[in-house]
């Protein structure tokens, strides 16, 4: 850093709001482009929504562009500002993202529109469509929505899956210094998985792999006669983002095709693996891919859970064995990867199968994947930490570093993960308390809370696979929206903004 830059940054406040505003302006402007994407779809299907998207987009362009040019951010983004930028960006994006729902009139309540948008961006996949709200408004069924609006929901998934900010870093050259801080506040990709020395290159590679996998998924779905191109493209985006929005109210169950189920199973599985690993696989480094501890642990959990659920279903339901394996694997993967697709009303499953599924609500895919949840690497480290603690009790004086495979996990990382877990449990319980207080039964409240925090989507009971979130009160929707953002940004990015040291020290 040159002397000139150092002297300038020394004069900056602890939290540089001019910089933050400028960067937020840039992101808002960029969101304008995203809002243009559904327009060809509206034109193709000759829908009136073309104006809603145009208006929303213009609004984003003007406001975002204006703010950007007033503040012209040039300084380096420091970690403190990165937390703020990333958290607020997600809220701002949700506001602009909900505009098409409101302008087109398919939703007439801001809380509903915001909930739907944030559920899309965070790849939760909880929907308010197809139900009656608490104040007796009737939200249309998904199948009755304009195609462009359905498409917009999938676009929200797809952008939010790999991360809007990661995409911006990949494409926008003017974001400048400190973007690494932004990347790590939004993406769960591990520092060790940074593919190239330059963060922009890494972001480009990640999005490139994401695009390739989405296209491959699209083609495989399209091959099936029950899927037209529009449905295939929506489901491809939704699966790769581990989102869960479907073009049908009854989700994947509607198609009732073994081929479609297995294609989606494959791509849900892939979406749950770190995209840095996919990049290595595409580059031919198969060994690295196969030997990755987290990928192996994830695969093990997927196989184990599918096997257990299928076995229970064989004995306790009337399905044939191929059906049982298909539904068991699909539903297990759908929950583990936090996608939230439904092929079978798991709410009606035998209790033993259901309790396994509930346990899976607390898993999540690998770090650096598009999935949400606690994620496999944290579980691996938590398990090892427990094992280490037991060994330590036998040898009180022993120095036992925590290892995953041959990698040493340093104590600060272990501490961070332990606090993450504690915080996760507290947020989960807090969400459940609020929902119960608003009138839900405990099972619905607990499951909806974890389904939002883990970005899964469908829960149990009144928010179960055959229901939706329309009937929840506005307060409940805001609470769950907040849980979704907190969960998507892996707790600390958002929660640090609510801490005293962030503002005072």
Partner 1 sequence: MKIVIIGSGDVGFDLSTMLSREKHDVIVIDQDKNALVKASENNDILTLHGSGTSASDLLKAGVDKADLVISATNIDEINMVASMLSKRLGAKKVIARIRSEEFIAPGAPIVPSDVGIDSVINPELSVASEILQLVKRSAASDIVDLANRQMQVIGIRLDHDSPIIGIDIESYALQNKNIDFRVVAILRGGITLIPKGSDKFRANDHIFVIALNDSIKQIIRSTGISEQSIHNIMVAGGTSVGRKVVKMLLDFRQDWNVKLIEKDYDTSYKIASDYRRLLVLNGDPTDPSLLASEGIMDTDVFIAVTDDEESNIISCLMAKHLKVKKVIAMVSKSDYIPLSQTIGLDSSVNKKLAAANEIHRVVRGRNLLNTVALNGIDAEILEFKVDSRSKLVNKPVSKLMLPNGCVIGGIITNGLARIAVGNSVISDGDSVLLFCRSSIIDEVSSKFG
Coil/strand/helix, residue 126: coil
Region of 347 on the Ramachandran plot (φ > 0 left; ψ -120 to 50 alpha; else beta):
alpha
Shortest Å, Cβ 142 to partner 1: 53
Q: Which two tokens stand for residue 104?
A: 């087109």
Tokens of 204: 């480009």
CB of 401 to partner 1, least distance (A): 5
Q: Which is nearer to partner 1, 287 or 395 (CB)?
A: 395
Sequence-distant (6+) residues with CB within 8 A of 107 are: 98, 101, 113, 116, 128, 139
Residue in the block written with tokens 């993202």: 97
386 vs 400, which CB is nearer to partner 1?
Answer: 400
DSSP of 342-391, one letter per residue? Answer: -SS-GGGS-HHHHHHHHHHTT----TTSS--SS-HHHHHHHHHHHHHHHH
180 Cβ neighbours under 8 A, 6+ residues apart: 199
Shortest spacing between CB 410 and partner 1, in angstroms: 9
In whole angstroms, the minimum distance from the beta carbon of 395 to partner 1 comes to 7
Q: How far is the CB of 399 from partner 1 (least distance, A)?
A: 4
How many CA atoms are closer than 13 Å to the CA of 300, on its beta-carbon side?
Answer: 12
Q: Closest separation between CB of residue 191 and partner 1, Å?
A: 18
Q: Which is nearer to partner 1, 414 or 429 (CB)?
A: 414
Q: Which is nearer to partner 1, 105 or 411 (CB)?
A: 411
Quote the least distance from Cβ 380 to partner 1, whole Å: 16
Q: Quote the least distance from Cβ 419 to partner 1, whole Å.
A: 21
Which one, 350 or 401, has the nearer CB to partner 1?
A: 401
Tokens of 189: 């990709």
Q: Write the DSSP string, 202-243.
A: HHHHHHHHHHHHHHHHHHHHHTSTT--HHHHHHHHHHHHTT-
Residues 307 and 353: beta-carbon distance below 8 Å: no
Angle at the Cα of 238 from the Cα atoms of 344 and 286, rounded to 5 degrees: 100
Q: Which is nearer to partner 1, 105 or 401 (CB)?
A: 401
CB of 422 to partner 1, least distance (A): 25
Bridge partners, residue 407, by sequence: 404
- Residue among 3 and 406 whose Cβ is closer to partner 1: 406
- In angstroms, the CA 266 to CA 217 distance is 9
* φ, ψ (nearest 5 deg) of residue 403: -115, 145
How many angstroms separate the first and last alpha carbons of the chain? Answer: 25
User: Shortest distance, CB of residue 424 to partner 1, whole angstroms?
Assistant: 28
163: left (phi over 0), alpha (psi -120 to 50) or beta: left
Contact 167, 274 (CB under 8 A): no
Rounded to a whole number of angstroms, the minimum distance from the CB of residue 202 to partner 1 is 28
| Length, in residues, of the chain | 505
CA–CA distances in Å: residue 390 to residues 177, 186, 277, 404: 45, 35, 33, 16
Alpha-carbon distance of 187 to 165, in angstroms, equals 9
Of 308 and 404, CB closest to partner 1 = 404
Give the nearer residue to partner 1 in terms of CB position, either 284 or 396: 396
* Helix 199-222 vs helix 275-282: crossing angle, to nearest 10: 80
Q: Both tokens of residue 239?
A: 């699966």
* Cβ distance to partner 1 smaller for residue 1 or 394: 394
Residues at the interface with partner 1 (CB under 8 A):
395-401, 403, 406, 408
CB of 412 to partner 1, least distance (A): 13
Least distance CB 289 / partner 1 (angstroms): 23
* Nearer of residues 215 and 398 to partner 1, judged by Cβ: 398
Taking the least distance from each CB to partner 1, the nearer of 396 and 501 is: 396
- Residue 427: both structure tokens together: 């947020």
CB closer to partner 1 out of 287 and 397: 397
């Amino acid at each position: 850093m040159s002397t000139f830059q150092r002297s300038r940054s020394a004069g900056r406040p602890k939290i540089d709001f001019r910089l933050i505003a400028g960067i937020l302006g840039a992101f808002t402007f960029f969101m304008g482009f995203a809002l243009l994407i559904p327009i060809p779809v509206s034109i193709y299907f000759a829908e009136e929504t073309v104006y809603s998207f145009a208006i929303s987009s213009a609004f984003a362009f003007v406001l975002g562009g204006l703010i950007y040019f007033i503040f012209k951010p040039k300084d380096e983004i420091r970690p403190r500002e990165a937390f703020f930028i990333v958290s607020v960006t997600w809220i701002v994006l949700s506001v602009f993202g909900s505009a098409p729902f409101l302008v087109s009139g398919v939703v007439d309540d801001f809380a509903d529109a915001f909930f739907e948008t944030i559920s899309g961006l965070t790849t939760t996949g909880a929907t308010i469509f197809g139900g009656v709200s608490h104040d007796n408004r009737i939200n249309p069924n998904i199948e009755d929505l304009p195609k462009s609006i359905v498409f917009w929901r999938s676009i929200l998934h797809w952008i939010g899956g790999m991360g809007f900010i990661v995409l911006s870093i990949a494409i926008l050259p003017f974001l400048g210094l400190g973007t690494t801080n932004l990347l790590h506040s939004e993406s769960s990709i591990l520092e060790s998985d940074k593919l190239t020395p330059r963060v922009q290159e890494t972001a480009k590679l990640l999005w490139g792999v994401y695009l390739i996998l989405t296209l491959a998924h699209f083609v495989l779905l399209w091959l099936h006669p029950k899927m037209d191109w529009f449905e295939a493209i929506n489901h491809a985006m939704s699966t790769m983002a581990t989102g869960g929005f479907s073009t049908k109210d009854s989700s994947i169950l509607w198609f009732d095709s073994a081929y479609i189920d297995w294609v989606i199973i494959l791509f849900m599985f892939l979406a749950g693996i770190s995209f840095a690993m996919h990049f290595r696989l595409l580059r031919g480094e198969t060994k690295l891919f196969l030997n990755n501890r987290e990928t192996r642990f994830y695969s093990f959990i997927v196989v184990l859970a599918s096997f257990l659920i299928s076995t229970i279903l064989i004995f306790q339901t009337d399905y044939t064995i191929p059906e049982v394996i298909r539904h068991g694997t699909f539903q297990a993967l759908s929950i583990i990867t936090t996608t939230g697709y439904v092929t079978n009303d798991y709410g009606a499953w035998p209790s033993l199968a259901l309790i396994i599924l509930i346990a899976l609500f607390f898993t999540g895919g690998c770090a650096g994947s598009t999935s949400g949840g606690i994620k496999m690497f944290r579980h691996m480290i938590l398990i090892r930490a427990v094992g280490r603690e037991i060994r330590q009790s036998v040898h009180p004086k022993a120095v036992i570093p925590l290892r995953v495979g041959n990698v040493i996990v340093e104590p600060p990382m272990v501490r961070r993960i332990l606090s993450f877990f504690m915080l996760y449990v507290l947020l989960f319980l807090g969400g459940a308390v609020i929902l119960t207080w608003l009138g839900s039964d405990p099972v619905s409240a607990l499951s909806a809370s974890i389904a939002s925090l883990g970005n899964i989507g469908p829960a149990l009971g009144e928010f179960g696979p055959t229901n939706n979130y329309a009937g929840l009160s506005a307060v409940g929707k805001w609470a769950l929206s907040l849980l979704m953002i907190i969960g998507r940004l892996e707790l600390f990015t958002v929660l640090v903004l609510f801490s005293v040291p962030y503002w005072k020290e």
